Amino acid sequence: MVLDNLYLIVAITEKSNAIGKNNDLLYFLKEDMNFFKEKTCGNSVICGKKTFDGFKIKPLPKRNNIVLTTSDFSFEGVRVFNNIEDLIEFVKENPDEKFFVCGGMSIYKQLIGYCSKMYITKYEEKEIIEADSHFPEIDEKLWKVTEKVEGKNENPKLTFYTYERI
Ligand SMILES: NC(=O)c1ccc[n+]([C@@H]2O[C@H](COP(=O)([O-])OP(=O)(O)OC[C@H]3O[C@@H](n4cnc5c(N)ncnc54)[C@H](OP(=O)(O)O)[C@@H]3O)[C@@H](O)[C@H]2O)c1
């Protein structure tokens, strides 16, 4: 089931789809952070508990923050879901709201199948980077690139891709 108002946003390395190491991001580049802000501000962001713990500012300002956890965690200004099914129901009940899946690895894997659009920043990867978290393979039978924009950053170079369902 694909939901029109459920998007995904992620930064991956271009060869190995690496997204993180030691519960942290691999890169913290202003150009990509600005892109993330531009897309997500004014909307809802969905993340796993580990990714939320890694945010430097919590909750992310100017966005409705949603956290998935199996624990009884609560945090002011954050909506918590204990399973994917209840979250999906909530997304369906709010068709005028845009929801962005923003990590980490476990949440991308569980929700990619429901997303209608993906914003993927690809980082140039001259040599395979060491990481412990990866994004799933993008199935080219299901997804097509509808926009590709070269970033300005050098070393690593960034490319901003938009994927939509075929
Ligand atoms: N490059 C990027 O764009 C990007 C973006 C975001 C994150 N990351 C990276 O991704 C890595 C973290 O990924 P991760 O997979 O280890 O952690 P994660 O997905 O952020 O969080 C995992 C936690 O989410 C909760 N959870 C997962 N599935 C659930 C479900 N179905 N129902 C309820 N709760 C659920 C569980 O929390 P409880 O244990 O509390 O139950 C689980 O331990 C970090 O390195 C981070 O920096 C990268």
Nearest-CA residue for atom 37 of ligand 1: 69
What integer is the mean pLDDT of 6-20? 98
Q: What is the pLDDT of residues 31-64, one digit of tens each?
A: 999 999 999 999 999 999 999 999 999 999 999 9
Hey, is 46 helix, strand or coil? strand
Nearest-CA residue for atom 19 of ligand 1: 104
In CATH, which superfamily holds the domain spanning 3-165?
Answer: Dihydrofolate Reductase, subunit A (3.40.430.10)
User: What mean pLDDT is reported for the chain?
Assistant: 97
What integer is the mean pLDDT of 9-36? 97
Q: What's CA 71's distance to the chain center, in Å?
A: 22
What integer is the mean pLDDT of 3-10? 98
Q: What is the pLDDT of residues 67-84, one digit of tens each?
A: 999 999 999 999 999 999
Determine the distance separating the centroid of ligand 1 and the alpha carbon of 28, expressed in angstroms.
Answer: 18
> What is residue 143's predicted lDDT score, i.e. its pLDDT?
98
Distance CA(121)–CA(117), nearest Å, equals 13
- Geometric angle at alpha carbon 104, from 108 and 55, rounded to 5°: 145
Determine the distance separating the centroid of ligand 1 and the alpha carbon of 153, expressed in angstroms.
Answer: 28
Distance CA(89)–CA(42), nearest Å, equals 21
Q: Which atom of ligand 1 is nearest to the CA of 9?
A: 3
Give the chain's length: 166
> What is residue 124's predicted lDDT score, i.e. its pLDDT?
97
> What is residue 117's predicted lDDT score, i.e. its pLDDT?
98
Sorted by where each begins, the domain ranges of the chain are 3-165
Cβ-Cβ contacts under 8 Å for 63 (sequence gap 6 or more): 40, 41, 42, 43, 44, 45
